[in-house]
Amino acid sequence: MQKLVAEFLGTFVLVFGGCGSAVLAAAFPELGIGFAGVALAFGLTVLTMAYAVGHISGGHFNPAVTLGLMAGGRFPLKQVPCYIIAQVIGGIAAAAVLYVIASGLPTFDVISSGFASNGYGEHSPGGFSLQSGIVIEVVLTAIFLVIIMGATDKRAPAGFAPIAIGLALTLIHLISIPVTNTSVNPARSTGVALFQGGWAIDQLWMFWVMPIIGGIIGGLIYRCLLESKAKA
C-alpha cells in the first residue's frame, strides 16, 4: 500500500506541477514562462518526487516507465496493474484540482484552451502530423527508459539517479512540446484529457499506445544490449 500511495502522490505532483505550469503560467500576460519553463517544471517534479518517495516505490509515476522496467527485467509483472491504476488515479486527481483552480479565472475555457492536453494534427502546438507524433513519442520514451535504467544501474554513481532522470524529462519536453505537447506518460495524458472532454479524448489512444511501445523498446534495449553485456 505504501508503494501505491507513493506512486499516486508522485504522479499527482508530476501532473499538477507540469500541466499546472502549462495551464496557469506558460502564457501568463507579459511574463509567461513559455515552453522552456514548462519543460523545467516537468523535470523538477520528477526530480523532487523521486527523492521524496522513490525509495518507497521506485519512483515510476508513469505507466510507460512501469511497463518498460518490467520489460527490462527490473519490475515484477504481478505489480504492474496496481501501479498503473495508482498512477492514472493520481493523474486524474491532479487534473481535477488544476481544473478547480483554473476555473477561478472568469475567462477560462477548458475546451478552447486545450487544458495542457496532448494532441497531433490540428491539435499539435506546431501543427505536426500523426506520423510525427508517433515517431517522437516512441523514440523519446525509449530514450527515457534507457536513461532511467542506466541511472539506476548498480554500476552508476549512487544517489544521483533522480537528477539525471529529471534533467532527461526536461530535455524531452524541450524537444517535443511543439510536436505533441509532450506525453511520454499515459497517466499525464489521461488526467487532463478527461477534463478537456473533446478532441483530447479522441486522440488519447495515441498517448497510451506509443509511450508504452517506446517504454518497452527502451527497457529491452538496455536489458539486451547494455545490462546483459556487463554481466557476460
pLDDT in tens, 197-217: 889 999 999 999 999 999 999
Taking the C-alpha atoms of residue 232 and residue 228, their distance in angstroms, rounded to an integer, is: 6
Please tell me the total number of residues recorded for the chain in this structure.
Answer: 232
pLDDT in tens, 19-41: 999 999 988 767 789 999 999 99
Taking the C-alpha atoms of residue 67 and residue 60, their distance in angstroms, rounded to an integer, is: 10
Average pLDDT, the chain: 94
Predicted pLDDT of residue 229: 61
Asked if residue 228 has pLDDT above 90, the reply is no
Check: CATH 1.20.1080.10 for 1-226?
yes
Question: What is the number of other CB atoms lying within 10 angstroms of the CB of residue 230?
Answer: 9
Asked if residue 189 has pLDDT above 70, the reply is yes
Average pLDDT over residues 65-93: 97
The set of residues, in sequence order, having a beta carbon less than 8 Å from that of 195 and lying 6+ positions away, is: 95, 96, 99, 110, 115
pLDDT in tens, 104-120: 999 898 988 899 999 99
The set of residues, in sequence order, having a beta carbon less than 8 Å from that of 181 and lying 6+ positions away, is: 22, 114, 116, 117, 118, 119, 124, 125
Taking the C-alpha atoms of residue 98 and residue 95, their distance in angstroms, rounded to an integer, is: 5
Instruction: Classify burial at 186, counting beta carbons within 10 Å of its beta carbon; exposed 0-12, middle 13-18, buried 19 or more.
Output: buried
Domain ranges, ordered by start, for the chain? 1-226
Predicted pLDDT of residue 137: 98
Span between the terminal Cα atoms of the chain, in Å: 37
